[in-house]
Amino acid sequence: MRTAVATISDVARVAGVSISTVSAALSGKRHVASDTRSRIEAVARTMGYHPNAGARMLAGTRAQMLALSAPLHADTSTPAHMRFVLAVTTAARAHGYDTLLLVEDEAAAGIERVSASALADGIVVMDVDARDRRADQLRSGRYPAVFLGVPDDPTGLRCVDLDFAAAARLCLDRLAGLGHRAVGLVGQPEVTYERGTNYARVFRDAFVAHAAATGLRCEVVTPEPGRLGADAALPRLRRLLPDVSAVVLNASELTTHRFVRSCLEAGLRIPGDLSLVVAGASFDTSDDDVPLDTVPLPAATMGARAVQLLVDRIEGASEPVVERLAPTYVERGSVAAPDAA
């Protein structure tokens, strides 16, 4: 025999309030006295009542759910990916929203499904490509969305990201100012650039352009995902640029750690023989065999800002926004003049 499912009428009857008051208390659409809200929430929990998404859509109320489009690829750095998922989820909860995670590779289909069903009130978009199909889906503004990243054409969108071009220039200016003239870049796997992942492409292109503009010689290596690719990065870079004196890593946590280990196993002193700086790292670069200078990627700050922009959009803000956070340089002792002993 099936157990009867509690309805909003049942909650209203037991709590001694009207149906509209229950709806307001559980949706947050209008003010309800705190003691009344607490009583209604307690009754709803006891009775196992959960508002139906379809009913909310018909009633014009909110789902109190945010979707997060965070597709996983073979080359995805899972630790970095999950830091941003956690940042968005934590910020959403602080605003009273739960999070629906969409990880399928065909991300556009997930957005279509969620927006059509009203399962979520809006969506945060991660892993943004240069010509991202999701940007075209969401550009009209009919479904609230914010991008954690900036596509090539951000017209009509709300976006927040680190200014990766400025981060590349900041690293090179620091190294050039110390006298380095041959600088390497350890970047992302080649497949990441081929797919069009925009932060990686923007950083690499700005790095190469600024090196040329400031008279630096540079080479870029793109390690394959995994340990073997990471371990091959140093010897490959030294073949391409034998007098390399500094390296910027815009790479995964695994690749960064393995590169440092390769340097130490090769007998290189950091920074005496080779200066290292990590750019766009969401991980702690002080907790390694050698603490590393870094231009951090502030996942918590970016996730919180993306959620705030989305909540503002849900509540009626409509103007496009593109925010690129200014990079900061954190010294930890892994960079020095090229002749440092």
What is the average per-residue pLDDT within 148-158? 94
With cut-offs at 50, 70 and 90, classify the pLDDT of residue 2. Answer: very low
With cut-offs at 50, 70 and 90, classify the pLDDT of residue 115. Answer: confident
Q: What number of other Cβ atoms are within 10 A of residue 212's Cβ?
A: 11
With cut-offs at 50, 70 and 90, classify the pLDDT of residue 112. Answer: confident
Q: What number of other Cβ atoms are within 10 A of residue 272's Cβ?
A: 13
With cut-offs at 50, 70 and 90, classify the pLDDT of residue 243. Answer: very high
Do 39 and 15 contact (CB within 8 A), yes or no? yes
Q: What number of other Cβ atoms are within 10 A of residue 194's Cβ?
A: 11
104-113, 152-161, 207-216, 227-236: least confidently modelled range: 104-113
pLDDT score at 4: 54
Query: Considering the chain, what percentage of its residues have pLDDT values greater than 90?
Result: 64
With cut-offs at 50, 70 and 90, classify the pLDDT of residue 155. Answer: very high
What is the average per-residue pLDDT within 251-262? 94
The answer, yes or no, to whether residue 60 has pLDDT greater than 60, is: no
pLDDT score at 58: 42
Which tens digit of pLDDT belongs to each residue from 68-109? Answer: 988 877 777 788 889 999 999 999 999 889 999 887 756 667
Q: What number of other Cβ atoms are within 10 A of residue 41's Cβ?
A: 16
pLDDT mean across residues, the chain? 88
The answer, yes or no, to whether residue 336 has pLDDT greater than 60, is: yes
With cut-offs at 50, 70 and 90, classify the pLDDT of residue 258. Answer: very high
What is the average per-residue pLDDT within 316-324? 91
The H or E element spanning position 196 is none
CA distance 14 to 26: 15
Which tens digit of pLDDT belongs to each residue from 10-52? Answer: 899 999 998 778 877 887 667 888 889 899 999 988 888 766 5
The answer, yes or no, to whether residue 9 has pLDDT greater than 90, is: no
pLDDT score at 48: 80
CA distance 335 to 290: 11
What domains can be seen in the chain, in order of their start residue?
8-59 (1.10.260.40), 65-162+299-325 (3.40.50.2300), 164-296 (3.40.50.2300)
**Any residues with CB less than 8 A from the CB of 136 and at least 6 apart, and which?**
none
CA distance 177 to 180: 7
Please give the span between the terminal C-alpha atoms of the chain, in angstroms, as a whole number. Answer: 81
What is the average per-residue pLDDT within 249-267? 95
β partners of residue 160: 148, 323
Do 157 and 138 contact (CB within 8 A), yes or no? yes
What is the average per-residue pLDDT within 201-224? 97
What is the average per-residue pLDDT within 232-240? 96
Rounded to two decimals, the pTM is 0.79
pLDDT score at 10: 84
